[in-house]
Amino acid sequence: MAWLISPPFFILMVVYPLVSTLFLKASYGGSISLLDAFLNAFGVLMIATLADLLILDMLIVGTMTPSWVIIPGTEDMKDTAYKAFRKMHAIGHVYGTVAFAVLSLIIASVAVFI
């Protein structure tokens, strides 16, 4: 199932920041600095990942832990593993931020040199 669902998300993760940066370039009159392009692409990606971290991971899964997020067979871990999950995802978010910085630099380079 992941092979069907993942590709559209990966495509959006590249296309949406690129299109946003190209629109910014057009609003600048057709020329944009690499720094401005990078900050735009990075900002678009970070808004999405911060929403995921803060709303989905920390608030819904890590704090509220409704029954629909609990994996069958792990109900007894609701107050332990699902709460410890918050730290693991915060650390993962740091690694993701570095990966998004690299991806943003690539997207910015494409937008600047097109």
Task: Please report the pLDDT score of residue 94 as a whole number.
Answer: 93
Give the pLDDT of residue 1: 81
Write down the pLDDT at residue 16.
95
Q: How far apart are CA 21 and CA 27, in angstroms?
A: 10
Phi and psi, residue 65, nearest 5°: 45, 65
Q: Which residue has the tokens 């740091």?
A: 94
Q: Which has the closest alpha carbon to 97: 33, 47, 55, 22? A: 47
Q: 């609003």: which residue's tokens?
A: 27
- Cβ neighbours around 36 below 10 Å, total: 17
What is the structure's pLDDT at 37? Answer: 98
Comparing CA positions, the residue from 45, 42, 46, 30 lying closest to residue 105 is: 42
pLDDT of residue 65: 83
pLDDT score, position 45: 95
Query: For position 29, what pLDDT does the model report?
Result: 95
Spell out the per-residue pLDDT of the chain, length 114, in tens.
888 989 998 899 999 999 999 999 999 999 999 999 999 999 999 998 898 888 988 888 888 888 898 889 988 888 788 777 778 888 999 999 999 999 999 999 999 998
